[in-house]
Amino acid sequence: MQSGAGALLDGSLRTHALRLTRVWASWLETQSGDRYQLPVRDLPVRDLVVRSWERTRALGVDPEQGQAPEPLALAEVERRRQASGLGPVVDVLRTALMAGMADTQQVMIVTDPDAVVLWREAANPVRHRADRLGFTIGARWSERSVGTNAIGTALADDAPVQLFAAEHFVKSHHAWTCAASPVRDPRTGVVLGIVNVSGPAATFHPMTMALVSTAARLAESTLWCAHEQRLGALRQVAAPILARIDGPGLVIDDHGWVAAVSGLPPCERVAAPAPGEPVAVHGLGACWPEPVPGGWLLRAGHGASRSAVTLRLVRAGPQMRLHVTTAGPQGELCWEQAISPRHVDIVTALGRHPDGLDAAGLAGVLYGDPTRVVTVRAEMARLRRVLGGLMLARPYRLASGVVLATAD
């Protein structure tokens, strides 16, 4: 029995596809009890394929099913796109993988960690074939939904996977080949989703697996560079803040990565902060996170209670600025941030609705049109990058202890 992520061919594509179909049919017969079951070591297919077939069979997937389950609604797809950590690198993946796709008749897919298709790129002929298969935006391509396939099996095995023809569990997928790789958040190692290239079985090439894996690593490298840029911007904010406080402290981002330290040995990362919860820092003890532009200040506290935060909209000539005052056991901290007119409207709306608003409700307040949820989510994503934990989601609202004072 063979192993490895990449599909291995024995003879021509057609010959190998026919051989795999016979093996697939024989394996299904042994599972149904119609024939004596061969020992796994005697099956002429890769062990990763057999493991996936066994998982899929146990999940009750019908090998004769014709199409994937109904896709999610477009509103839910858009919500998942906005929440996806892969949104910023879709163009990177497209550039790395789309070259030559018109010739090879392949489709590029990017999913979330639930195997839901969020982005799809393809020339029209293969797009139509994918539509007939149910390989569409919003479809869930987990093993539980559609059996052995590169997307679902890459998630299940937590590794790159290439499949060819009848290595897929469901018969209608046998005319396809696919290669997929997980893409991870380089800061945490968490899988953000899957990048996949699929096409008719006749388009199979052993180098596709290497190409997809390389594109995934390129996306991760791009995400890491963006992380470094954000930390660099936070360092510029951190320097004057740390210079004003008494005693040691450090400024971190939302994931606990340290931008700057004062009065302490250098460190790379601490626990990720959460509004209202203390963070334990070696040499300081329990620190209550205090919001600063794009991150948090940690300094020694007395374990009293969460800091109170006051937001005040202040006009500075033609521009509005958000003045933030944090009063806590460590003393008072003040900072200002330029804010766009649209973000002024959002802060004002959330200040007037302390119980929060969902995307449709906020769109109705801002635009008089509750259908403009995509615009609202994009604006909230930009605002939360600046204000961090001061703004919460689901529903959108000011964090506990944050109060909006009257505007000047």
pLDDT per residue over 362-374, tens digit each?
999 999 999 998 8
Residue 356 neighbours by CB distance under 10 Å:
15
Same domain flag for 254 and 378: yes
Whether 7 is covered by a domain: the verdict is no
Residues 84-89, mean pLDDT to the nearest whole number: 95
Give the end of a domain, one of 169, 191, 225: 225
pLDDT band for 45, please (50, 70, 90 cuts). Answer: confident
Same domain flag for 145 and 293: no
Same domain flag for 167 and 267: no
pTM over 0.85: no
Same domain flag for 391 and 256: yes
Same domain flag for 264 and 211: no
pLDDT band for 30, please (50, 70, 90 cuts). Answer: confident
Whether 309 is covered by a domain: the verdict is yes
Q: Which two three-digit tokens encode residue 332?
A: 């008072």
pLDDT at 42 over 60: no
Same domain flag for 357 and 389: yes
pLDDT band for 330, please (50, 70, 90 cuts). Answer: low
Q: Rg (Cα) of the chain, in Å, rounded?
A: 26
pLDDT at 37 over 80: no
pLDDT at 395 over 80: yes
Task: Compute φ and ψ for 18, nearest 5 degrees.
Answer: -65, -40
Whether 232 is covered by a domain: the verdict is no
pLDDT at 88: 94
**CATH value at residue 17:** 3.30.450.40
Task: Measure the CA–CA gap between 33 and 102, rounded to whole angstroms.
Answer: 45
Whether 97 is covered by a domain: the verdict is yes
Print the domain residue range for 347.
245-404
Whether 165 is covered by a domain: the verdict is yes
pLDDT at 3 over 80: no
pLDDT at 303 over 50: no
- Please, which residues have CB within 8 angstroms of residue 87's CB and are 6 or more apart in sequence? 81
Same domain flag for 370 and 295: yes
pLDDT at 305 over 60: no
Residues 323-344, mean pLDDT to the nearest whole number: 79
Same domain flag for 49 and 192: yes
State the pairing for strand pair 319-328/308-316. Answer: antiparallel
Give the end of a domain, one of 225, 258, 287: 225
Task: Measure the CA–CA gap between 21 and 195, rounded to whole angstroms.
Answer: 26
Whether 153 is covered by a domain: the verdict is yes
Q: How many domains does the chain have?
A: 2
Q: Is 323 exposed, middle or buried (0-12, 13-18, 19+ CB in 10 A)?
A: middle
Taking CA atoms, 20 is separated from 78, 90, 163, 177, in Å, by 38, 34, 11, 13
Whether 366 is covered by a domain: the verdict is yes
pLDDT band for 287, please (50, 70, 90 cuts). Answer: confident
DSSP of 263-329, one letter per residue? SS---SB-PPP-TT--EEETTTEEE--EEETTEEEEEB--S--PPEEEEEEEEETTEEEEEEEEEET
Same domain flag for 26 and 100: yes
pLDDT by residue (tens digit) across 151-184? Answer: 999 999 999 999 999 999 999 999 999 999 999 9
Same domain flag for 394 and 350: yes
Q: At what angle do helices 150-157 and 47-59 cross, to 10 degrees?
A: 100
pLDDT by residue (tens digit) across 212-266? Answer: 999 999 999 999 999 999 999 899 889 888 988 888 999 999 889 999 999 998 8
Residues 338-349, mean pLDDT to the nearest whole number: 91
Whether 2 is covered by a domain: the verdict is no
In the chain, pLDDT over 90 holds for what percent of residues?
Answer: 50
Same domain flag for 115 and 252: no
Same domain flag for 17 and 54: yes
Give the end of a domain, one of 163, 190, 225: 225
